[in-house]
Amino acid sequence: MPLKDALQRNLPPIARWLGIEITDASNDRIAAEVVVREEHAIETGTIHGGAIMAIADTLGALGTIVNLRKDQWTTTLESKTNFLGPSPVGTTILCESLPLHRGRRTQIWQTTMRNEAGKLIAQITQTQMVLERS
């Protein structure tokens, strides 16, 4: 089974609720699409910043997970989001998460989100802590 299909099949419930569709996955890149729904939106009809952050957190975590060894797991240690433009209900957000650092104890992933026209709407950098199962 391709990695993208395995990740899609095992998404956590919040990621399924958000409508994350994995479009590509490797140890070096996680790509996804999300159609902005009314449930994601604020009163102006654009996606809520928390939804953007949750999508990015999921993708960065998935990128880390595919790089872990057996008996390791991960949790988000830090996340920084720059909101750069709106994404109205009905638009598709194209997401790409790339590793900036893959160390023994931490990984840093940067997620870029663009609308269908290619306009940058958010840039998220997160640090994932790598933990050992005991």
pLDDT in tens, 13-53: 999 999 999 999 999 999 999 999 999 999 999 999 999 99
Q: How confident is the model at residue 133 (pLDDT cuts 50, 70, 90)?
A: confident
CA 23/CA 73 separation, integer angstroms: 23
CA 30/CA 122 separation, integer angstroms: 16
Tell me the pTM.
0.96
- In the prediction, which pLDDT does 95 show? 98
Domain ranges of the chain: 3-132
The answer to whether residues 7 and 25 touch, using CB atoms and an 8 Å cutoff, is yes
CA 73/CA 84 separation, integer angstroms: 31
Domain 3-132 indexed as CATH 3.40.50.1100: no
DSSP element (H, E) containing 84: none
